[in-house]
Amino acid sequence: MLALRAWQWTLLLLALAALVLEILPRVGVVSRATLLPFSEMVVAAVQLLLRPDFYTDGVLPSLLAILIAFAIAAVAGVAIGYLIWRVRPLRQAIDPYLTAYYALPIFALYPALIAIWGQGAGPITALAALFAVVAVITNAMNGFDSAPPIIGKLARSMQVPERTYFLKFFLPYAMPYILIGLRLAFLYSLLSVLAAEFLLSSAGLGHFIQIAYVRFDMAEMYGAILVVFGLAILAERLITLAVRKLTWVGDLT
Amino acid sequence: MVETARVIVDRLGKSYGGMPVLEDVSFSIGAGEFVSLVGPSGCGKSTALEIVGGLNSPDSGRIEIAGSPITGPRSQTGIIFQEASTLPWRTALNNVALALEMRGVGKAERHEAARRALAAVGLSGFERHYPSQLSGGMRQRVALARALTVEPDVILADEPFGALDEQTRLVVALELLSVVERTTASVLFVTHSIQEAVLLSDRVLIMGVRPGRIIDEVRIDIEGPRGPHLIGSRELSEYTDRIWQPLRAEAQKALEMQGPARP
């Protein structure tokens, strides 16, 4: 029993959780109006996955917003991170407050963003990018800090041009940290897009769940939640694997 | 000596924030000569090496290598740094090939040169290893191999084995010696280990502290090849004592300048 491997333990715990979720509503401990038996959630999830409008109105708009927000956060994060890291007064002014950023209820800006862009994908994407970008900034700055001064001397002794130094010496040193930032940025984008869609939107996975909830369609709501959880975990695993593969194993240059 | 000198350092002066670091430092190194620079911490020996390497500029005085004045880095000077300067995302082979790659040498040619250099420092078979998979001594041999690929006529080494334990350090140092002996490169070797300096050098320059200046010079005339058999020998310890005499007062002075130890 104790000789189980990690993944076997994971499966066992998942099975246990499913069993509890199955039994609680069936024996009446929790009302079926509140919680559906797990098997019915799975059936609803599968049914959703077979519906074309689930993709056109749910998955695709969300995915598009997540990817755009992530791309903005990635590019802007590394650029802003380098700027702050490089310009000393900027760094002294901003650095102490960067860690406090995630204590800000950034979602409170949502009404203001709607006032600017109107309801739709614009404010959702902007909010997600705003939420994700700081994770890239802080990690990129850690990465730039990690490059030892000796490589500057090494590059100068080889008469390496500034641009080559940046691309082939400096940036690769920061890359493992930047990748950590990118991983967080993707997850923050995902989280932020779904949460914002839930609040106020006419499309996306978050909106899909919200509508089902308003209609008291418990099957569709739990089915969609299950799909979202599955997608989020899958995305996280894929990124973690990709980061592990890219981090200095193999020639990054 | 001066006529055949490959490296000429003439009345070098340098100060940081009004504090003189180097004052009137002059010496020369002949072709194929191995010269060590010893002195207490903070005597400016690394600064002197950086100036010879063109990485730092002097306030006064001048450097001449192979007849040309030095105003910046020079392509035929190979530098081995104090800390590990291998790039962690490159294999040993790609680290050694780096210097040639930066000069635009083609892949096949630079890899061939890198393989030869790795073999010269005894690292054949480690081409595909990453620095994290190598010991500290091996990493510094990779750095040495990289310096060799540019076919240097001057090699500058700044306490390259400072981070290694005493045993490894002497073994790797003797390897360095046997490798550079096969070339006609002039070597300037900065170290704080008197034993290491005596073991490797044709000549040892002794530096005093603040301002850093050369207070003495000892020629090492040991018969036969240098090797581990010399460690603990009477010859070696006589030279070590001889160098320690002028250094002792300087080491004391350096200690006092750092101020009393805080409890």
Distance (Å) from the alpha carbon of B85 to chain A's nearest alpha carbon: 6
CATH number of the domain at A215, please.
1.10.3720.10
Q: Which of residues 28-67 of B touch A (CB under 8 A)?
A: 50, 53-55
In a domain, A7, yes or no: no
Cβ distance A172 to B87 less than 8 Å, yes or no, reads yes
Confidence of residue B3 (pLDDT cuts 50, 70, 90): low
A159 to chain B: which residues are within 8 Å by CB? 72-73, 75, 102
Cβ distance A150 to B90 less than 8 Å, yes or no, reads no
CA torsion through residues B233, B239, B245, B249, sign: negative
Of B75, B88, B94, the CB nearest to A159: B75
In the sheet with B203-208, reading across from the earlier edge strand, the strands are B77-80, B154-158, B186-191, B34-38, B203-208, B213-219
Residues B35, B40, B41, CA angle at the centre, nearest 5°? Answer: 110
Q: What proportion of chain A, given as a percentage, has pLDDT over 90?
A: 61
Write down the domain spans for chain B. 1-76+188-263
pLDDT, tens digit (0-9, with 9 covering 90-100), for A168-222: 999 999 998 999 999 999 999 999 999 888 877 788 999 999 999 999 999 999 9
Of B72, B94, B102, the CB nearest to A160: B102
- For chain A, give the number of residues: 253
Q: Which CATH number fits domain B1-76+188-263: 3.40.50.970, 3.40.50.300, 3.10.20.600, 3.40.30.10?
A: 3.40.50.300
**CA-CA distances (angstroms) from residue A114 to A110, A130, B39?**
6, 14, 69
In whole angstroms, how large is the CA radius of gyration of chain B?
18
Of A68-72, A121-125, A126-130, B228-232, the poorest mean pLDDT is in B228-232
Cβ distance A251 to B83 less than 8 Å, yes or no, reads no
In a domain, A22, yes or no: no
**CA-CA distances (angstroms) from residue B108 to B94, B111, B125, B128, B190?**
12, 5, 18, 16, 34
User: Which of the given ranges, A101-110, A191-200, B167-176, B183-192, has the highest pLDDT on average?
Assistant: B183-192
Find the residue in B nearest to A175 (Cα). Answer: B89
Structural domains counted in chain A: 1
Residue A37: pLDDT over 50: yes
Give the orientation angle of helix A121-146 with respect to helix A171-199, to 10 degrees.
160
Cβ distance B81 to A164 less than 8 Å, yes or no, reads no
Place of tokens 């990493």: B139
CA torsion through residues A125, A126, A129, A132, sign: negative
In a domain, A66, yes or no: yes
Interface contact B249, partner A, CB < 8 A: no
pLDDT, tens digit (0-9, with 9 covering 90-100), for B57-92: 999 999 999 999 999 999 999 999 987 789 999 999
Find the residue in A nearest to B97 (Cα). Answer: A158
In a domain, A35, yes or no: no
pLDDT, tens digit (0-9, with 9 covering 90-100), for A58-71: 899 999 999 999 99
Backbone angles phi, psi at B213, to 5 degrees: -150, 165
In a domain, A37, yes or no: no
Cβ distance B89 to A148 less than 8 Å, yes or no, reads no
Of B39, B55, B74, the C-alpha closest to B47 is B55
Tell me the residue range of the domain where A93 lies.
42-245
How high is the pLDDT of residue B243? 93
- For chain B, give the number of residues: 263
Average pLDDT over residues A142-161: 92
In the sheet with B19-30, reading across from the earlier edge strand, the strands are B19-30, B5-16, B60-65, B68-69
Cβ distance B53 to A158 less than 8 Å, yes or no, reads no
Of B256, B62, B84, the C-alpha closest to B162 is B84
Residue B157: pLDDT over 90: yes
Cβ distance B77 to A157 less than 8 Å, yes or no, reads yes
